[in-house]
Amino acid sequence: MPVIATFDIVGANPQERNRIQSFFERLGWENLGGSSYRYPRLGTNDQPVEDWLNHIVPALMLFRAFIVSSGRELRRFTIDVQSSSGYNPVTQFGAAPTDGAGLNLYPPTNSAFGEANLRHWITGVEYPY
């Protein structure tokens, strides 16, 4: 079941848009054109369930961090979800949250957001207490 995210950012330059596309794609999302992304990629058979903790949530967190830190105006954002996910180690269902080093990443069509930077960022997200 897919997760579809769409957005409209005012004033983002081509380099910023390339980095957004790159980090979404590295986390297993498919660019549907412009500022629309789908997870998992259409036709992906290697994922029995959406990996919310390792691919969906980090992509949305990184997108949020970009909007906040860049000061760009987010004119619109939508997310449409038809999903069922989870993790149960007893039944070996799903995937446990992992740090950047253990995260399964995907080759992007646009490599503007570096793999090492993405792994470093994911590992560096800390609980604030």
- Cβ atoms 50, 39 nearer than 8 A: yes
Q: Reduced to 3 states, what is the DSSP secondary structure of residue 116?
A: helix
User: What are the tens digits of pLDDT across the range 74-123?
Assistant: 999 999 998 888 888 999 888 899 999 999 999 999 999 999 999 999 99
In which element (H, E) is residue 129 found? none
For residue 46, pLDDT beyond 80: no
Q: Reduced to 3 states, what is the DSSP secondary structure of residue 97?
A: coil
Spans of all domains in the chain: 3-124
d(CA 10, CA 125): 27
User: What are the tens digits of pLDDT across the range 9-37?
Assistant: 999 999 999 999 999 999 999 999 999 99
Q: Which residues contact 6 (CB under 8 A, 6 or more apart)?
A: 35, 36, 37, 76, 77, 78, 79
Average pLDDT over residues 40-57: 83
- Specify the pTM: 0.91
Specify the CATH number of the domain 3-124.
Answer: 3.30.70.240
pLDDT band at 45 (very low <50, low <70, confident <90, very high): low
